[in-house]
């Protein structure tokens, strides 16, 4: 796989002219300063795989269902000879072993949510030597050797935290940070974004709990925090916001500003309860964008090494049933997950026809 030098604009980013030369630039938006990857085209259809790690929350379930649903569409089947899905849990060695097995089995491309951002350099080298396209997404790696797809994680959480701080009537008190799954780059980077806002603010005391991006876990740790710490001045949750709202409602907590994610149930409760909140969505359809990028690379197209997608954002004042949350959808459904720039829309009924298990 050969990297192509990037043309930089006056501000150090990628120039408009260069961006137009990459494949599908409206969707595959390059991060500033990152190179473009291109390999010699090979004919399809392709054997492709998802090497997922942790699978224990609704986001991962919807991510797998979305990828399977996309692959089942007739217009995409022509490029896919086989789609293999493997979820290995939180163990780094197990995930790397699964990727090695897929490489040895001759798969053309593997997309993956890495459970650790720093442990994959050896398997990247093995994939490149075998001619296998490896595309991490969501939890990206600390490398510039493979194409990666993400939403910019530090600003994703920084904007949520800033909203909460700006809407605190008194700029003092306890603020609850609800982190995600330890060891993942998303958890690390979002915490950086949170602390960029709240660190060194006089009168602010930060309390941190680990929610594992899971509604049930978040509900428990938030309930425990309220029981032991009392009332908070604000809360920011990486994910699992339905659990957050359940805990707040159960505790009859006074209204405070919230930084949340996009679970349908949390948006409904924010609207119905009159909470002041911002919701920013990490789309489960990142898996589809990663697979589209992998196939485009196999076809010989120039692809940005780091693709950063826009972050869907909704404010409590703009919530409306049937527009950005849905009375008939499950509480754990990720509302606002479509990616219009990539022409990716995934109706709930199409998702539910797919299972989230290994195949």
The per-residue pLDDT for range 141-200, each reduced to its tens digit, is 889 999 999 999 999 999 999 999 999 999 999 999 999 999 888 999 999 999 999 999
* Separation CA 5–CA 276 (nearest Å): 46
Q: Is the pLDDT confidence value at 12 over 50?
A: no
Q: In whole angstroms, give the CA distance from residue 188 to residue 191.
A: 5
SS3 of 344, please? Answer: strand
CA distance 166 to 330: 31
Domain with CATH 3.40.50.2300 in the chain: 2-151+284-352, 153-280
Flag whether pLDDT at 331 surpasses 70. Answer: yes
Alpha carbons 35 and 24: distance in angstroms, whole number: 16
C-alpha 332/C-alpha 61 separation (Å) is 10
Query: Domain 2-151+284-352 classified CATH 3.40.50.800?
Result: no
- Of 2-6, 249-253, 284-288, 349-353, give the lowest mean pLDDT range: 2-6
pLDDT at residue 203 is higher than 50: yes
Q: Give dist(CA 68, CA 80) in Å, integer.
A: 11
Calculate the average pLDDT of the chain.
91
Distances (CA, A) of 112 to 95, 182, 215, 287: 9, 17, 23, 8
Q: What is the pLDDT of residue 9?
A: 28
**CB under 8 Å to 228, separation ≥6 — which residues?**
none
The single-letter DSSP state of residue 339 is B
pLDDT at residue 117 is higher than 90: no
Q: Would the pLDDT of 332 be above 60?
A: yes
pLDDT tens per residue across span 56-106 = 788 999 999 999 999 999 999 999 999 999 999 989 999 999 999 999 999
Indicate the pLDDT class of residue 34, thresholds 50, 70 and 90. confident
DSSP 8-state class, residue 115: S
Residues paired with 204 in a beta bridge: 173
Considering the four listed CATH numbers 2.60.40.420, 2.60.120.380, 3.30.300.130, 3.40.50.2300, the one that applies to the domain covering 153-280 is: 3.40.50.2300
pTM of the model: 0.88
Orientation of helix 241-250 relative to helix 215-229, angle to 10°: 40
Taking residue 136's Cβ as centre, other Cβ atoms within 10 Å add up to: 24
Is residue 20 predicted with pLDDT exceeding 50? no
Q: For residue 49, which of 299, 283, 291 has the smallest C-alpha distance?
A: 291
46-52: strand order across its sheet = 80-87, 46-52, 109-112, 133-136
Lookup: tokens for 95: 């995930």
Buried b / exposed e over 242-279, threshold 16 CB at 10 Å, is bbbbbbbeeeebeebbbbbbbbbbbbbbbbeeebbbbb
Q: How many CB atoms are located within 10 Å of the residue 120 CB? A: 24
Please give the share of the chain, as a percent, with pLDDT higher than 70: 94
pLDDT of 14 reads 35
Q: What is the H or E stretch that residue 217 is in? A: helix 215-229
Mean pLDDT value of segment 109-135: 95
352's CB contacts (< 8 A; 6+ apart) are: 65
Residue among 146, 147, 202, 210 at smallest CA distance from 184:
210
Distance CA 337, CA 127 (A): 30
SS3 152: coil
Residue 318 has pLDDT above 90, yes or no: yes
Asked if 124 contacts 145 with a C-beta cutoff of 8 angstroms, the reply is: yes
């Amino acid at each position: 796989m050969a990297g192509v030098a990037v043309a930089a604009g006056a501000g150090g980013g990628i120039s408009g002219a260069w961006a137009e030369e990459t494949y599908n630039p409206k969707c595959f938006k390059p991060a500033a300063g990152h190179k473009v990857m291109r390999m010699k085209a090979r004919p399809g259809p392709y054997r492709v795989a998802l090497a997922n790690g942790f699978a224990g929350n609704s986001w991962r379930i919807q991510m797998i269902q979305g990828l399977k649903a996309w692959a089942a569409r007739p217009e995409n089947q022509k490029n896919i000879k086989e789609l293999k899905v493997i979820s290995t849990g939180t163990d780094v060695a197990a995930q790397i072993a699964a990727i090695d097995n897929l490489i040895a089995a001759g798969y053309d491309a593997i997309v993956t949510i890495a459970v650790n951002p720093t442990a994959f350099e050896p398997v990247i080298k093995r994939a490149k030597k075998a001619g296998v396209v490896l595309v991490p997404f969501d939890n990206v790696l600390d490398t510039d050797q493979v194409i990666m797809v993400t939403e910019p994680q530090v600003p994703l959480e920084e904007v949520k935290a800033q909203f909460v701080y700006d809407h605190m009537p008194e700029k003092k008190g306890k603020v609850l940070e609800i982190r995600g799954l330890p060891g993942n780059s998303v958890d690390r980077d979002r915490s950086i974004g949170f602390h960029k806002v709240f660190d060194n603010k006089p009168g602010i005391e930060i309390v941190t709990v680990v929610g594992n991006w899971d509604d049930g876990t978040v509900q428990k740790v938030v309930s425990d925090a309220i029981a032991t710490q009392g009332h908070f001045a604000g809360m920011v949750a990486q994910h699992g916001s339905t659990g957050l709202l359940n805990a707040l409602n159960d505790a009859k907590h006074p209204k405070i500003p919230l930084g949340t994610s996009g679970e349908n149930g949390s948006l409904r409760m924010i609207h119905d309860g009159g909470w002041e909140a911002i919701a920013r969505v990490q789309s489960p359809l990142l898996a589809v964008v990663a697979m589209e990028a992998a196939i485009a690379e196999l076809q010989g197209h120039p692809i940005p090494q780091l693709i950063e997608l826009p972050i869907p954002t909704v404010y409590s004042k703009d919530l409306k049933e049937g527009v950005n949350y849905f009375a008939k959808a499950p509480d754990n459904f990720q509302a606002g997950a479509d990616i219009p720039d990539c022409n990716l829309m995934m109706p709930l009924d199409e998702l539910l026809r797919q299972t989230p298990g290994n195949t």
